[in-house]
Amino acid sequence: MAGYRKIAVAIDLSSESNAILTRARDLAAADGELHLIYVQEPMDSVYMGVVPYGPVFVGMDEVEENLRSELQEKLDAIGEQYDIPSSQRHFLSGTPAREIHRFAEEHDTDLIVLGTHGQKGVQLLLGATANSVLHGSTCDVLAVRMKETS
């Protein structure tokens, strides 16, 4: 198999990111590109409905910026570990599935790789983000099943 030319690897910066990146690397063409993606959901969208207007609390912007800096450092550390150039490490802000779709379309991605824990009930086969990415994608999607830890 020739492999995929351009792969978007969506990670959550957890220890499971290594398994997802390893799988993506295995699927890449010899001259393929891995693009590392982390999507931070803005705090005001997470708390939408709790407070209808304005920030949830004074100083929320500062807390969010500090969190962004910490998460960017983690993204960079993982990128360096896997020799992914900084130009191919993408810190996005918004709804994860929507941002992953947007990125994949704008960068002419051949494959999206992301992890899933699976859910019970309606989302039985895939996690909510993986399910949303799969059903809205214009390219191939690989959901790497993460093992439950006991």
The pLDDT confidence band at residue 125, using thresholds 50, 70 and 90, is very low
Residue 10 phi, psi dihedral angles, 5° rounding: -90, 120
Report pLDDT for 20: 94
The pLDDT of 130-136, averaged and rounded, is: 85
| Per-residue pLDDT at 123 exceeds 50 | no
Which domains, from first to last, does the chain contain?
4-145 (3.40.50.620)
* Closest alpha carbon to 95 in 26, 22, 45, 32: 45
* Cβ contact 143:116 at 8 Å: yes
Report pLDDT for 23: 94
Report pLDDT for 121: 44
- This prediction's pTM: 0.81
CA 144 – CA 18 distance, rounded (Å): 11
Please list the alpha-helical segments (H only) found in the chain: 17-27, 43-46, 60-81, 96-106, 128-136
DSSP type of residue 10: E
Least confident of 20-34, 76-90, 96-110, 135-149: 135-149
